[in-house]
Structures are given as C-alpha cells and as structure tokens.
C-alpha cells in the first residue's frame, strides 16, 4: 500500500528486521543507562537490586529478540550475561568493579554486534565476543552466598517466608545481615488502579529502602479493593517512612525481632495453619469478623470464611496469574465467580477472590490513588512468572479440595493477556519516509505559490470578483494547512538530545577510568529536541570533544590538588534552544588552553609562519585547534590523536549547517559551543543573486549583510579585504570563484548597489560579494546527486517555486577554501598519514550524505 | 473461437522465432546523428524544466533540475561525446535514467521513435573499423514496414553504463 517513492522496500522481512534493529538498539541504550546508574549506586557502597533486575530483563529480552532473528552472536552473549546477572541478583556473585567493567564492555559489544548484523557481516565481532565470554567466565566464578539464616530472628510469618522466591529470600537475608530494619506496611489498593498505585508506592519507598515482597493480607478488602502487606527493608526510622509513604492509606510498623527463646522459622508447608499474627493496632482480629460484608465485583458472592492475614502469596497471585492454584485451601475463603456474571473481559481483573473483610485504620478512598492508567505491560510480571518460579510455588501448595474447586481460568491466561498487550502507543518510522513526506510538502509549497499567482491574476479581472474572492479564501486555507503539516512533520522528526547524551555518559565513565582521572559529567537540557538525523550525526563529534576535554582539559588529580581544585573534574554538557537553533556547550573545569603553547605548536608543525602567528587575535589562536593535523602533543595519546582531530569535529558540525566556537581561560577551563539548526530538513536561507544566477546562503552562518563599496577594497597578500567597522574582513567575489561571467559595472544613476553578505563560521569571517539580496526564505534542502559529490562549495539545492532550483552554498566549506588556501597547500605537500586521512575525510564530508534522500 | 485464438498465438510465436528476439530501442538525435538506447533503461522523457547550472562541476554536467521534488543531475550527451554545443530548443528532451541509486538526466536534441530490432538488424560495432568506444554496442539497421532495409535510419546503439560512469 504505502509504497513510498525512492527507498520503498516492501519486503516484510526487511521491515521486521528494521523493527528488530530499532528495538534492540533501544534495549541496548537502556541497558547502558541502567549500568551507569548501577555504577553510581555501587560507588556509594550499595547495590540496587531493582536495577540489576532491570538489566537482567533487558538482556533476557535481547536474547529472545536475537534468537528470533538468528543473531547467534548476540543470543550467545546474552545467554552468558544472563547467567552472570542471575548470579548477581541472587547474591552468588558480588558486584565488583571488574564485573561492572565486563558489563559495560558487553554493552559496547552489543552495539557493535548490532552494527555488524546490520551491514550483514555478523561474524565480524566474533573474536571480541569470544574474548568477552572468556572474561565473563572468569568473573562468574561463583561464590557461595548465604550461610546460616539470620531471618529467624524476626517476627515474620513462616507462611510468608515459605513463599518467598529464591531472589526475595536472598534480598531479605542480605538486608538483615546488613542490619537493615524490616517494616511491614499495609496498604489498601483499588483493584482497578493497583498497578499504578503499587508503582507509585514503590517509587516513594525506593529512596528509603527496598521492597522485598508484597502479598495480599486477605483483609481489608471489599468489592473493589484489596489490602496488601508489603515487606520493606529500610534504614530509615519509622517516622521518616511514615512521612515518605504517608497518606492515610498506609499503615507502617516495624517487624520486631523475636525474643531469644524464639524458635527459628519452621520449614513447614507454607499453608500450615498458623496462629494469626498480631494485627496492627486498630484493626480487628480476623477471627472477630464473623460477618464479612465483602462482595465480589460484579457478581453475587458466596460468603467468605474468616480472613487469614499474612496469607502467603506472591506477585502472581496479585496479578491473577496462577491464582486458582493457590487460593482454594481448606482455610481459604474462596469465592467462585459465576461464569454468567463474569464477562470474559473482566477476567483480567486480578483476584476473583475475596478474603474476608477486616476493618482497619487503613481507610482508603478512591481519591487517594492516581487515576487509572492505560494498561501497562509489566515486564517484571512477565519475568516473574517464569516457569521455575511458578513451579516452585506449585510444588509448595497442596492441591485444592475438589469440592471447592473454583471455575478455574485457563492457567495464567489472564496474566498473559495483560502482558501481551502492547505497552507502546508509538510507531517507529523510518526517517526516509519522513523525508519523503517532507518532499511532498515541499511540492505542495510550490503549488501554493502557483495558486497565489493565479489568484492574483483572477483578481485583476473585475468580472471575476466573486470567483477571485473564493479562490483567495481557498488559497489562504491551503496555506494554513500546509504550514501546519510542515510543522507536524518536523515535530515528528524531533527527538531529545538525551539520546546522544546517554551514550556520552558511558564514554565519560570509560575514558576517565582508562585515564585514571575522576570526572563528573553534569548534563542539563537533555530534553532539548533536535532533528533525529542531527542527533545521530552529533554523537561522534561530541564524543571526540569529550575525549579531548578529559585528555587535554582535566588535569591529573595531583595537579588539581596542587592548584586547589576539587580532585574530581567536571564536564558540563548543556543544551538549550535558541530561536531556530540548538546550542550545545561542552565545558570543562580543566587547565584551559594556553594560546602560547597553541601558537608554538602550530608554527612548529608548519601550519603558520611566525609572522602570521604574531598577527592572530586570541580567539583566532584558539581556532587553530580546528586545523587539520593540529595537536599540542608530541605523541598521539591513546585517547585523542587517533587520526581524527578537532578538524573533523568541525567539519561534521559545519556539514550540518552548524558552527563551533571555543572560549578558554588558562587554569579555569574550556568551553566549546556548538550552534546547530534545529532541523536539517527545513532551513532559513538568504536568497541572493550572483551574475544573474540565484543562490541561497543558510542564515545560520550569515552574520549580516552590508552595502558593498568597491572603493574600500584593499589587497593584502593578494587577498581582497575590506573594512568592516574597523575590522579587516576578507572578501570573496563569488562570480570569480564560480567562474561566471564578470559582473556588469553598476549604474550609480539607477541607485544600484551590491552587497556583502558576511558569513561567520566558528571564529572566521568572510564577506561574499553578491549582486542582489532577494530575501529570506525557509526552504527544504535536498542533497545533490552522487555524480556531483566532488563539487565543493554546495550543501545541496532547493526549489524556489516556479520550478527553479537554487543551489545552497556550503558556507563552511567556502570559508575554509577561501581563507585557508595556504594551510591546505602546506598540508598536501607533506602528506603525513594522519593529515592525509583528515583531508580525505573532509572531502567526503562534503558529499550529499543522504540527509535529504527522497 | 478458442482454436482461432490459439492458432493466432502460435503464428505469432512462430514469427517471433523466425525473427529472433526483438528488443525495443528509443532513438534520438544528437548533433545530426541518430542514437538509440534500450528502452528499458529509460525511465521517463521530460521536457527540460529550467536547468540550474552547477559551478565547478565537470563540463558535461549541464546542471540540476527538479523532477517532482527530486534533484536530478543533467548531463549534456553532446559534451560527453565531444561534439559541439547546441542551444536548448523546443524539441530538446531529457531522458531520465538510473545510475546506481541516483537518477540522471541525459540531454538530447530530439526524441525520434521506438524501434523494435531483432538480432539480424544489428551489426556489431566493429563494422565502423578498429577500436570503437565502449559505449557503442553496435549499429542498428531497422527494416522498414515492407521488409526492406531502411537506409534512412542508421542507429548508433548505445550502452549507457560507460557513459554514466564517465
């Protein structure tokens, strides 16, 4: 159906594969984020079991995906990782720096495997996978955890202890052995919002401790609510917890240690009748509630038996999976929902059972809970209902008496239905499709122009006035809708910069570890949105800048101590929107850039003569780092100097129509500022004329346009310059550069003027002499075809309406070409390896790069 | 009825077998010569829209045009063949062809007609003597309707690949 011109590949296999790539990529990105968080937590001497669980789940999902798409390397790696992570989860393995390093390496490797899969060379990273698997084998020398259980010291319901999963038991033991207090929280949840309410509670509890497990108490329920008992391990004192979890719906009490005479918890079957535990003050003892008034929603109910607080159950119960296998025991009150009264839809409602009523102080009103959310496919749920867990539970549960057997649901059906439902309300779109749409909108814009002309023409004819008015109205409506459509498509292309920043955080950690420098990355404005393609293109330049900041900027620890700076260096990554641009700053509090060192280095490398060096302004000196082949280091370090330098960074930024500036103070730090257009697809340009030809200059790089006065032109070293408010401005006559016929002399009688459009790229400025300024326009920029790839100086072309195409100047390239003609000649003569490569890359950088592929 | 249709089809097949495989060529004129290319390689024939010149491109690139929102580089075949310039007239056309994943336009003086040529109507390029450029596949000498040689049409059959790569 939706066969789109150009890249339309309708093969469903390809499409599924694309889905696989984007989904796997998302998982890998998330994995990286979680690992970073885990790293941060573990530095504080703690472990975060939730995070390890999340990571485990991501790897597990990746394994499944990889298996589905025959990505054997990925599934193999995932399988091994899963084992290590499982050991981590269950405390059989300690989370050491070495383990973390392996995990980080795995994320890196995942990304590479994915790239290799994409380019159909899946065997490429095989060696590395092997190496990592070996490492994994080394770290996962399992250490036995456990020992004598300290759990016995606590007044915990043995029934509860019996149904803890291996993992929960481990967490309980760990917390107890660390001397963390245990709390019992009773909370009433409305059944229809239980998922979100529980999540909210978890989020609130999280800063203070860890939720070990939660079970229905079998009390306090009515037709549409249920009471859960939550076991929380926390260092916080009771009042703090009460304040944090507060609200009228939660009742918190500390779990007391048993007296010395207490027996250790028996290893009895979990459902052995136990004397009821002490109930919270104010709540009625279960036996004293002879008349449960609970009703099961929506049908009539049978009268439940007295409640059993501390009824052992697991998450599965709460969410309905495997429920029927647990509930009906001799003691348990069971309500059999009448099939007729239970429409199939409502099978999804967990707990078709009511434990008896228990009046308690935990009064709850619906307003205490957030409004219901759309169903959320709980990943944890899927994971927790793995066969092993369920089997454990099944084994520990006596079969239900046949007489009371409820109208059972298909096993786990309710639960699975919930988890199968898609979580996401979003659609992933190939950006080429958006490009295609954008092109169509561009076409419509041209139609709009013609329509406007036609409308004007008709208006000139008096006899057609009413027709003209109608046409005019239509045209206006068309224009409005078109603008909305354009904005809409642009909006779809926008993604938060955080996508790129997340990856950078990982790089910072890795580099600072490699380099034994402590660096703190502070990110602001990660939510700033920018064109998806720019985010992609931005990753590498940003990564290089950060490498540079750590390698050259941040001083060694001793040095920082000596000058009285904090030993931990800071790199700030700030992003914000500024009009139609996004500004990204990479700032470090390092040593700063010493202009004298820069100059000396540039002269030594023959990039400048001594005389030239003497003439440079401070900010021009900083700009030297953008010259190909520039470095202040004698030897390339393992971090920077890998053959790509700041010149590549600058080229990449310029290619996106962006500019980069440096400011630096010795001893204080360095700040690099990148300014980028918000989108590549639509840019603002200044339309100009040169020798009768129309060109467009991206406004992003235009500083101003002033009237050109031939008399002010001077020649300095065979280069034309003019005076721009007391500053020397080199100028370029584009007609010469482009080989057009010489311009006709102006006729002052007709008040004819030429203009100079002053372009600024980074710190460099150049004035383009043009015949006429036509005006400003927003255009859709399109790449020139491959056969024009070698033509330098044009970023692409655009349609101006009336079918005409105008070339868009690549200002960065032109400025480079005109101003650094000398520098380039020097480089070409010397042919050093790095520099040769740099130049090559640069030329490639001028290619259409497919950013506007139709 | 069905038998009649079948007989017709058989006759047609027989005739085709006698003639050999027919291939369709689009003929166009360029600086007074008639060239032809396999019609499959042509996507479209366009009346030239305004062509925007691209400074610093190689001489045979006459410029870029927009074809329904897509930029197409237009190549002047005269210049590729090293013959003199000609102004764009009202018969001038652009042949849209594929080169890899991009589209190119070939500027020709006039599009003439489509010829269906059998192998017997194609002479190898070496009739013109020794070394012929790689882009010349052969000489087409189509028969006219009466089955005689049509000496008015002498087609230079082109292989576009070397031309586009050049």
Q: Is B65 on the interface with A (CB under 8 A)?
A: yes
Chain A: give the shortest CA distance to residue B12, in Å. Answer: 37
Q: What confidence score (pLDDT) does residue A681 get?
A: 65
Average pLDDT, chain A: 71
B71 to chain A: closest CA residue: A784
Sort out which chain A residues have CB atoms less than 8 A from B69's CB and list them.
439-440, 442-443, 782, 799, 854
Averaged pLDDT, A227-244: 80
C-alpha pair distances (Å), A563 with each of A569, A591, A665, A667: 13, 10, 15, 9
What sign does the dihedral A121-A127-A131-A136 (CA atoms) show?
A: positive
Averaged pLDDT, A662-682: 84
C-alpha pair distances (Å), A77 with each of A29, A74, A106, A127, A131: 17, 5, 8, 12, 11
Residues of chain A above pLDDT 90, percent: 7
Q: What confidence score (pLDDT) does residue A594 get?
A: 83
B75 to chain A: closest CA residue: A787
Q: Can you count the helices (H) and strands (E) in chain B?
A: 3, 11
More confident of the two residues A579 and A663: A663
Residue A289 banded pLDDT, cuts 50, 70, 90: very low
pLDDT at A222 over 80: no
Contact A805 B104 (CB under 8 A): no
Contact A805 B73 (CB under 8 A): no
Contact A788 B64 (CB under 8 A): yes
Averaged pLDDT, A796-811: 85
Could you say which of B50, B54, B73 has the minimum Cβ distance to residue A803? B50
Sort out which chain B residues have CB atoms less than 8 A from A792's CB and list them.
56
Contact B71 A784 (CB under 8 A): yes
Cα dihedral A314, A316, A319, A321 in deg (nearest 10): -150
**CA atoms of A812 and B162, how far apart (whole Å):** 34
pLDDT at A770 over 90: yes
8 Å CB contact between A167 and A85? no
Q: What confidence score (pLDDT) does residue A729 get?
A: 92
Residues ≥6 apart with Cβ < 8 Å to A516 = A556, A557
Averaged pLDDT, A826-845: 33
pLDDT at A769 over 90: yes
Sort out which chain B residues have CB atoms less than 8 A from A782's CB and list them.
69-71
Could you say which of B56, B61, B101 has the minimum Cβ distance to residue A792? B56
Q: What confidence score (pLDDT) does residue A766 get?
A: 92
pLDDT at A585 over 90: yes
Q: How many CB pairs under 8 A join A and B?
A: 79
pLDDT tens for A465-515 read: 888 888 889 888 998 898 888 888 888 888 888 888 888 888 888 888 888
pLDDT at A357 over 70: no
**CA atoms of B35 and B29, how far apart (whole Å):** 6
First to last CA, chain A: 18
SS3 A677: strand
**CA atoms of A818 and A821, how far apart (whole Å):** 6
Classify residue A577 by burial, with Cβ atoms within 10 Å: 0-12, 13-18, 19+: middle
From the CB of residue A604, how many other CB atoms can be counted at a distance below 10 Å? 11
Q: What confidence score (pLDDT) does residue B162 get?
A: 81
**CA atoms of A594 and A577, how far apart (whole Å):** 31
Q: What confidence score (pLDDT) does residue A425 get?
A: 59
pLDDT at A806 over 90: yes
Residues ≥6 apart with Cβ < 8 Å to B153 = B27, B34, B115, B140, B141, B142
Closest by CA position to A314, among listed A243, A210, A258, A385: A385
Phi, psi of A394 (to 5 degrees): -60, -45
**CA atoms of A253 and A185, how far apart (whole Å):** 6
Q: What confidence score (pLDDT) does residue B110 get?
A: 92
Averaged pLDDT, A712-730: 86
Could you say which of B53, B99, B103 has the minimum Cβ distance to residue A693? B53
Q: How is residue B52 annotated by DSSP?
A: B
Residue environment code for B7-25, b if the CB has 16+ CB neighbours within 10 A, otherwise e: eeeeeeeeeeeeeeeebeb
Q: Is B72 on the interface with A (CB under 8 A)?
A: yes
Contact B64 A785 (CB under 8 A): yes
Contact A805 B52 (CB under 8 A): yes
Averaged pLDDT, A718-735: 88
Residue B47 banded pLDDT, cuts 50, 70, 90: very high
Averaged pLDDT, A596-612: 80
Chain A interface with B: residues with Cβ < 8 Å: 5-6, 439-440, 442-443, 693-694, 737-740, 782-788, 791-794, 796-797, 799, 803-807, 854
**CA atoms of B73 and B70, how far apart (whole Å):** 10
More confident of the two residues A724 and A836: A724
pLDDT at A399 over 80: no
Could you say which of B61, B101, B103 has the minimum Cβ distance to residue A788? B61
Chain A: give the shortest CA distance to residue B90, in Å. Answer: 18
Contact A785 B104 (CB under 8 A): yes
Residue environment code for A504-526, b if the CB has 16+ CB neighbours within 10 A, otherwise e: bbbbbbbbbbebebebebebebb
Could you say which of A737, A785, A804 has the minimum Cβ distance to residue B102? A785
pLDDT at B70 over 60: yes
Find out whether the peptide bond into A298 is cis, omega within 30 degrees of 0. yes
Residue A731 banded pLDDT, cuts 50, 70, 90: very high
Q: What confidence score (pLDDT) does residue A390 get?
A: 43
Among A129-138, A160-169, A742-751, A806-815, the range of highest mean pLDDT: A806-815
Residue A13 banded pLDDT, cuts 50, 70, 90: low
Q: What is the pTM of this model?
A: 0.47
Q: How is residue A65 annotated by DSSP?
A: H
pLDDT at B4 over 50: yes
pLDDT at A763 over 60: yes
pLDDT tens for B86-116 read: 678 889 999 999 888 788 999 999 999 888 8
Scan for tokens 């900027």, then name that residue.
A553
SS3 A296: coil
What sign does the dihedral A549-A553-A559-A565 (CA atoms) show?
A: negative
A629: left (phi over 0), alpha (psi -120 to 50) or beta: left
Q: What confidence score (pLDDT) does residue A493 get?
A: 82
Closest by CA position to A178, among listed A206, A152, A153, A150: A150
Contact A805 B71 (CB under 8 A): yes
Q: What confidence score (pLDDT) does residue A389 get?
A: 47
Contact B64 A806 (CB under 8 A): no
Cα dihedral A217, A219, A222, A223 in deg (nearest 10): 40
Could you say which of B52, B65, B102 has the minimum Cβ distance to residue A806? B52
Averaged pLDDT, A301-313: 45
Q: What confidence score (pLDDT) does residue B97 get?
A: 93
Please tell me the least confidently modeled range out of A186-195, A562-571, B137-146: B137-146
Q: What confidence score (pLDDT) does residue A851 get?
A: 35
Average pLDDT, chain B: 80
pLDDT tens for A627-657 read: 776 766 544 443 343 335 787 788 788 777 7
pLDDT at A148 over 70: no
Sort out which chain A residues have CB atoms less than 8 A from B65's CB and list them.
805
Closest by CA position to A378, among listed A434, A333, A419: A419
Averaged pLDDT, B136-154: 67
Sort out which chain B residues have CB atoms less than 8 A from A6's CB and list them.
70
8 Å CB contact between B70 and B55? no
Contact A793 B65 (CB under 8 A): no
pLDDT at A821 over 70: no
Chain B: give the shortest CA distance to residue A586, in Å. Answer: 37
From the CB of residue B87, how many other CB atoms can be counted at a distance below 10 Å? 5
Chain A: give the shortest CA distance to residue B41, in Å. Answer: 17
Q: Is B160 on the interface with A (CB under 8 A)?
A: no
Contact B52 A783 (CB under 8 A): no
Q: What confidence score (pLDDT) does residue A270 get?
A: 39
Sort out which chain B residues have CB atoms less than 8 A from A807's CB and list them.
52, 54-55, 64
More confident of the two residues A686 and B3: A686
pLDDT tens for A519-564 read: 889 999 988 888 888 888 888 889 888 888 888 888 888 889 898 8
Q: What confidence score (pLDDT) does residue A14 get?
A: 66
pLDDT at A353 over 50: no
Q: What confidence score (pLDDT) does residue A354 get?
A: 38
Averaged pLDDT, B46-64: 91
More confident of the two residues A551 and B3: A551
Q: Is B103 on the interface with A (CB under 8 A)?
A: yes
Q: What confidence score (pLDDT) does residue B116 get?
A: 86
Sort out which chain A residues have CB atoms less than 8 A from B103's CB and list them.
785
**CA atoms of A738 and A758, how far apart (whole Å):** 18
Q: Is B79 on the interface with A (CB under 8 A)?
A: no
pLDDT at A106 over 80: yes
Averaged pLDDT, A341-345: 42
């Amino acid at each position: 159906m939706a066969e789109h011109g150009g890249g339309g590949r309708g093969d469903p296999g390809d499409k599924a594969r694309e889905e696989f790539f984007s989904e796997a990529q998302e998982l890998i990105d998330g994995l990286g984020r979680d690992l970073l968080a885990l790293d941060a937590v573990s530095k504080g001497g703690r472990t975060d079991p939730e995070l390890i669980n999340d990571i485990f789940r991501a790897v597990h999902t990746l394994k499944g995906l990889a298996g589905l798409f025959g990505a054997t390397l990925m599934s193999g790696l995932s399988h091994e990782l899963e084992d290590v992570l499982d050991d981590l989860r269950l405390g059989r393995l300690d989370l050491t720096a070495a383990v973390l390093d392996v995990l980080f390496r795995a994320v890196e490797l995942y990304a590479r495997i994915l790239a290799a899969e994409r380019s159909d060379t899946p065997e490429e990273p095989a060696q590395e996978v092997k190496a990592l698997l070996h490492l994994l084998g080394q770290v996962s020398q399992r250490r036995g955890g456990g020992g004598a259980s300290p759990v016995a010291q606590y007044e915990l319901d043995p029934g509860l202890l019996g149904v803890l999963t291996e993992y929960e038991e481990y967490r309980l033991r760990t917390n107890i052995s660390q001397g963390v207090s245990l709390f019992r929280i009773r909370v009433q949840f409305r059944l229809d919002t239980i998922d979100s309410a529980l999540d909210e509670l978890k989020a609130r509890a999280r800063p203070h401790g860890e939720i070990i497990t939660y079970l229905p108490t079998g009390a306090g329920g009515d037709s549409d609510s249920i009471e859960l008992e939550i076991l929380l391990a926390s260092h916080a004192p009771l009042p703090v917890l009460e304040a944090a979890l507060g609200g009228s719906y939660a009742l918190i009490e500390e779990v007391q240690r048993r007296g010395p005479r207490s027996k250790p918890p028996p290893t009895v079957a979990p459902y052995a009748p136990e004397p009821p535990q002490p109930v919270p003050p104010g709540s009625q003892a279960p036996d004293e509630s002879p008349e449960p008034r609970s009703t099961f929603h929506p049908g009539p109910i049978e009268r439940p038996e007295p409640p059993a607080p501390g009824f052992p159950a697991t998450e599965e119960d709460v969410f309905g999976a495997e429920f029927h296998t647990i509930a009906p025991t001799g003691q348990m009150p069971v309500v059999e929902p009448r099939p007729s009264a239970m429409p199939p839809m409502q099978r999804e409602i967990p707990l078709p059972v009511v434990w008896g009523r228990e009046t308690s102080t935990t009064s709850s009103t619906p307003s205490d809970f957030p409004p219901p959310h759309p169903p959320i496919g709980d990943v944890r749920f899927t994971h927790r209902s793995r066969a092993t867990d369920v089997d454990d539970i099944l084994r520990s549960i006596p079969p239900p008496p046949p007489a009371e057997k409820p109208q059972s649901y298909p096993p786990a059906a309710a639960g699975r239905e919930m988890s199968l439902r898609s979580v996401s309300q979003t659609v992933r779109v190939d950006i080429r499709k958006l490009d295609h749409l954008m092109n169509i909108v561009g076409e419509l814009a041209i139609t709009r122009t013609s329509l406007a002309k036609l409308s004007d023409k008709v208006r000139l004819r008096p006899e057609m006035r009413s027709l003209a008015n109608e046409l005019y109205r239509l045209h206006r409506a068309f224009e409005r809708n078109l603008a909305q459509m354009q904005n809409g498509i642009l909006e779809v292309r926008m993604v938060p910069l955080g996508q790129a920043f997340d990856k950078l955080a990982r790089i910072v950690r890795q580099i600072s570890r490699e380099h034994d420098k402590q660096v703190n990355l502070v990110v602001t404005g990660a939510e700033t949105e920018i064109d998806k393609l720019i985010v992609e293109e931005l990753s590498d330049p940003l990564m290089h800048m950060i490498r540079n900041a750590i390698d050259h900027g941040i001083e060694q620890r001793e040095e920082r101590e000596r000058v009285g700076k904090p030993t931990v260096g800071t790199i700030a990554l700030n992003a914000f929107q500024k009009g139609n641009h996004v500004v990204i700053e990479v700032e470090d509090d390092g040593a700063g850039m010493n202009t004298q060192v820069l100059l000396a280095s540039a002269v030594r490398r023959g990039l400048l003569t001594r005389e030239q060096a003497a003439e440079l302004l401070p900010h021009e000196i900083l700009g030297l780092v953008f010259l190909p082949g520039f470095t202040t280091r004698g030897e390339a370090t393992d971090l920077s100097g890998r053959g790509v330098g700041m010149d590549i960074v600058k080229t990449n930024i310029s290619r996106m129509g962006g500019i980069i500036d440096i400011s630096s103070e010795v001893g204080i730090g360095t700040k690099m500022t990148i300014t980028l257009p918000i989108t590549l697809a639509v840019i603002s340009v200044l339309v100009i004329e040169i020798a009768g030809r129309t060109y467009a200059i991206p406004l992003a790089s235009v500083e101003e346009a002033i009237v050109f006065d031939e008399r002010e032109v001077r020649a300095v070293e065979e280069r034309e310059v003019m005076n721009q408010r007391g500053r020397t401005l080199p100028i370029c006559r584009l007609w010469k550069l482009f080989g057009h016929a010489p311009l006709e002399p102006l006729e002052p009688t007709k008040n004819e003027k030429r203009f100079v459009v002053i372009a600024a790229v980074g710190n460099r400025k150049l004035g383009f002499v043009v015949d006429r300024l036509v005006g400003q326009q927003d255009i859709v920029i399109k790449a020139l075809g491959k056969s024009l790839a070698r033509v330098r100086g044009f970023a692409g072309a655009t349609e101006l309406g009336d079918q005409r195409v105008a070339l868009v100047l690549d200002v960065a390239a032109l400025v480079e070409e005109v101003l650094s003609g000398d520098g380039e000649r020097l480089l070409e003569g010397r042919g050093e390896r790095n520099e040769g490569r740099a130049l090559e890359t640069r030329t490639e950088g001028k290619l259409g790069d497919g950013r506007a592929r139709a | 009825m069905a038998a009649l249709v079948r007989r017709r089809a058989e006759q047609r097949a027989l005739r085709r077998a006698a003639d050999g495989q027919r291939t369709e060529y689009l003929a166009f004129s360029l600086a007074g010569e008639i060239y032809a290319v396999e019609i499959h390689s042509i996507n479209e024939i366009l009346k030239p829209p305004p062509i925007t010149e691209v400074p610093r491109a190689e001489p045979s690139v006459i410029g870029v045009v927009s074809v329904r929102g897509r930029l197409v580089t237009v190549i002047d075949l005269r210049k590729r063949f090293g013959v003199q310039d000609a102004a764009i007239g009202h018969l001038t056309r652009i042949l849209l062809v594929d080169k890899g994943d991009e589209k190119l336009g070939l500027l020709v003086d006039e599009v003439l007609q489509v010829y269906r040529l059998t192998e017997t109507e194609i002479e190898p390029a070496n009739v013109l003597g020794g070394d012929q450029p790689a882009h010349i596949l052969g000489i087409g000498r189509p028969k006219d309707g009466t089955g005689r040689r049509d000496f008015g049409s002498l087609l230079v059959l082109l292989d576009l690949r070397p031309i586009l790569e050049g």
